[in-house]
A = this chain, B = another copy of it.
Amino acid sequence: MNSTRRFGPENSATRTLLLDATAQLMLDEGYAAVSTRRVAKIVGLTPALVHYYFRTTDDLLVALYRRTTEQNLERLKAAQNSPAPLTALWELSADAVRTSLTIEFMALANHRKAIKVEIARYAEFARGMQAHAVAQVLGDGMLATDFPPIGVTVLIAAVARSLVMEENVGIHGGHAEARAIVELLLRRAQPDHAPKLPPAPAS
């Protein structure tokens, strides 16, 4: 029950390197490629050291997920203050690297249940933040009746994520057209911030 095992601190440079290597592995080869041995090899250290900083492999993955979501949350806050929050959310969600990592975690959730609860908890929280920003744009007139902000939020993130997922697999057909449609709709919903010609002289 009580073992002699020791563990390292959370504010360690090596620990950070191990998390970086884990992210790289997930992106390059998928979550199933993550093992203490392979992570250690990337950093040039030994597998035992991974277990010094992370009790189990699950702990390593959860730690990476938390670090990733904290970074995502900061980006979200910045997007919230953008003059065109819908566009900001769209561009944030369409970021290939960041979103690819999120997708990998969502797939991992099916294999490692410890990840699953972590993801659901964060996602609902972030979604609330996003919806708040979207609501500021849509107002609460008839537009908001047909297009509730939380629904629009879900749709924007959903489309962006699927496009990233498809591109990762080498599917590109119709993507340019789909992006054009989304951007057209975003311009219509944010008329105040669409690019404009200078006002014509009064006649």
Residues of A near any B CB (own CB < 8 A): 29-33, 103-104, 106-111, 116-117, 119-120, 123-124, 127-128, 131, 146-148, 150-155, 157-159, 161-163, 165-166, 168-171, 173-178, 180-182, 184
Rounded to whole Å, the gap between the CB of A134 and the closest CB of chain B is: 10
- List residues of chain B with CB within 8 A of the CB of A107: 30-31, 103-104, 107
Closest to A153 in B: B174
For the complex with contacts A107-B107, A147-B181, 12 further pairs of A-B residues with Cβ separation under 8 Å are A30-B111, A106-B169, A110-B168, A116-B170, A119-B170, A119-B171, A123-B171, A146-B184, A154-B173, A154-B177, A155-B159, A158-B178
- List residues of chain B with CB within 8 A of the CB of A182: 155
Contact of A117 among B30, B170, B174 (CB under 8 A): B170
Rounded to whole Å, the gap between the CB of A100 and the closest CB of chain B is: 9
Q: List 16 contacting pairs A-B, 8 Å CB cutoff, sorted by A.
A: A29-B110, A29-B111, A32-B32, A106-B169, A110-B168, A110-B169, A116-B169, A119-B170, A120-B170, A120-B171, A127-B171, A128-B173, A150-B174, A154-B177, A158-B163, A162-B162
- List residues of chain B with CB within 8 A of the CB of A162: 157-159, 161-162
Rounded to whole Å, the gap between the CB of A148 and the closest CB of chain B is: 4
With known contacts A152-B181, A161-B162, A131–B29 Cβ distance under 8 A: no
